[in-house]
Chain A
Amino acid sequence: AQTVTQSQPEMSVQEAETVTLSCTYDTSESDYYLFWYKQPPSRQMILVIRQEAYKQQNATENRFSVNFQKAAKSFSLKISDSQLGDAAMYFCAYRVGGSQGNLIFGKGTKLSVKP
């Protein structure tokens, strides 16, 4: 069974600084996707960034980037130049590729941004 583990229940970062959120996963599949979702206090889940397992290049979306280590089954999220609006719960998620399958989420990391 696939599992997603986020070992940091809470993290804190100073505004304008950089923070890295950790995620590890377990799967026997070779084709899959990994995601980071943001859930602000409004509670709507917003996709931040995704990574296809077959791509070696790490995904980047503006201030958000990932460090995807396929062999280690690690998928961390780096937020650069942190802003107050980045404060939220961040969920790492996994989905098997080639299908419309469901997402498997980690327990989340609560990120606080200090002014």
Chain B
Amino acid sequence: EPEVTQTPSHQVTQMGQEVILRCVPISNHLYFYWYRQILGQKVEFLVSFYNNEISEKSEIFDDQFSVERPDGSNFTLKIRSTKLEDSAMYFCASSVHWTISSYNEQFFGPGTRLTVL
């Protein structure tokens, strides 16, 4: 069964460093999402992406964040200058676009745990 994959599973970085989190969505999916979950907190939406541009973003998704689909398979989240409070689990999700239905399940990847020291 196709699934969303994410790499790395765990990333440790120093404060102020740039990190890139990678996701490979399910191959026929067209909508992509990033969510994050600070330890012990709820999952929060960061950004959605469709047709090579940002569709929606939350207040969390400030200028330090960017997303990109550099090729036909990868979807990346870049944090330019990491802060301690960026430490969280980052989940990628994807969904297929069906024009005849308003329901499209979001399939989640296993997450990348980011630790900022």
Q: Do they bind each other?
A: yes
Query: Are A107 and B42 CB-contacts (below 8 A) given A33-B103, A44-B109?
Result: yes
Please pick, from B41, B44, B50, B89, the residue contacting A43 in the complex, using a CB distance under 8 A: B89
Of the candidates A42, A97, A100, A105, which one forms a contact with B31 in the assembled complex, judged by CB atoms under 8 Å apart?
A100
Contact residues of A between 43 and 97, Cβ < 8 Å to B: 43-47, 50, 52, 91, 93, 97
Interface check A28, CB cutoff 8 A: no
Report the minimal beta-carbon distance from A50 to chain B, rounded to whole angstroms. Answer: 8
Residues of B near A103 (CB, < 8 A) are 35, 43, 45, 106
Measured CB to CB, the closest approach of chain A to B39, in angstroms, equals: 11
User: At the interface, yes or no: B82 with Cβ under 8 Å from chain A?
Assistant: no
Judge whether A100 and B42 touch: CB under 8 Å.
Answer: no
- List chain B residues, Cβ under 8 A from A50: 103, 105
Report whether A100 and B111 are in contact in the complex, using a CB–CB cutoff of 8 Å: no
Q: Give, as a whole number of angstroms, the nearest-CB distance from A59 to chain B.
A: 12
Contacts of A106 in B (CB 8 A): 42
- Counting chain B residues whose Cβ lies within 8 A of the other chain, the interface size class is 20 to 34
Q: What is the chain A residue whose CB lies nearest that of B48?
A: A102
Residue-wise, chain B 25-43 has the 8 Å CB interface mask toward A (1 for contact) of 0000001010100000111
Q: Give the residue name and chain of the A residue nearest to B56 (CB).
A: A102
Q: How many A-B pairs fall under 8 Å by CB?
A: 54
* Known contacts A91-B42, A100-B48, A105-B43, then 10 further A-B pairs from the complex at CB < 8 Å, ordered by chain A residue: A42-B110, A43-B111, A44-B109, A45-B91, A45-B108, A100-B50, A102-B48, A102-B58, A103-B45, A106-B42
Write 18 A-B pairs (CB below 8 A) sorted by A numbering.
Answer: A44-B111, A45-B91, A46-B108, A50-B103, A50-B105, A97-B102, A98-B102, A100-B50, A100-B55, A100-B95, A100-B97, A100-B104, A101-B48, A103-B35, A103-B106, A105-B42, A107-B41, A107-B42
B contacts, CB < 8 Å to A: 31, 33, 35, 41-45, 48, 50, 55-56, 58, 89, 91, 93, 95, 97, 102-106, 108-111
